[in-house]
Amino acid sequence: MSRLQKIFAQQKPILNVYCTAGFPHPESTMDVMLSLQEFGADMIELGIPYSDPLADGPVIQESNATAIKNGMSIQKLFVDIKTFREKIHLPVILMGYLNPVLQYGFEK
């Protein structure tokens, strides 16, 4: 059973917290996720930064712009995810737009 399936199998309210990967700096993503895990989040929705997040509000738009400006990319995120799994035991859901995934390539 996956981590996500285990959370939903509990049939109780959960705290799902969103954060943008690479905000405020690419190297801070792990610390943010560890803090969320430590302080009671049940799962993490990790945003993939995108340069044109029109469907999001101003806060997420700004966090995307800052993350990209500071060097976060989908390539870096996918490398970092392997490291995250060593310490993050919560389900992590990636949230983002299709364009960066298409640019990265489904085959990767």
* 38 belongs to the catalytic site: no
Of the candidates 31, 42, 56, 107, the residue annotated as catalytic is: 56
- DSSP lists the bridge partners of residue 96 as none
What sign does the dihedral 62-65-69-70 (CA atoms) show? positive
Of the candidates 27, 38, 45, 86, the residue annotated as catalytic is: 45
* 27 belongs to the catalytic site: no
C-alpha radius of gyration, the chain, whole number: 14
Residue 76 near residue 28, CB atoms below 8 Å: no
Active centre residues (catalytic): 45, 56
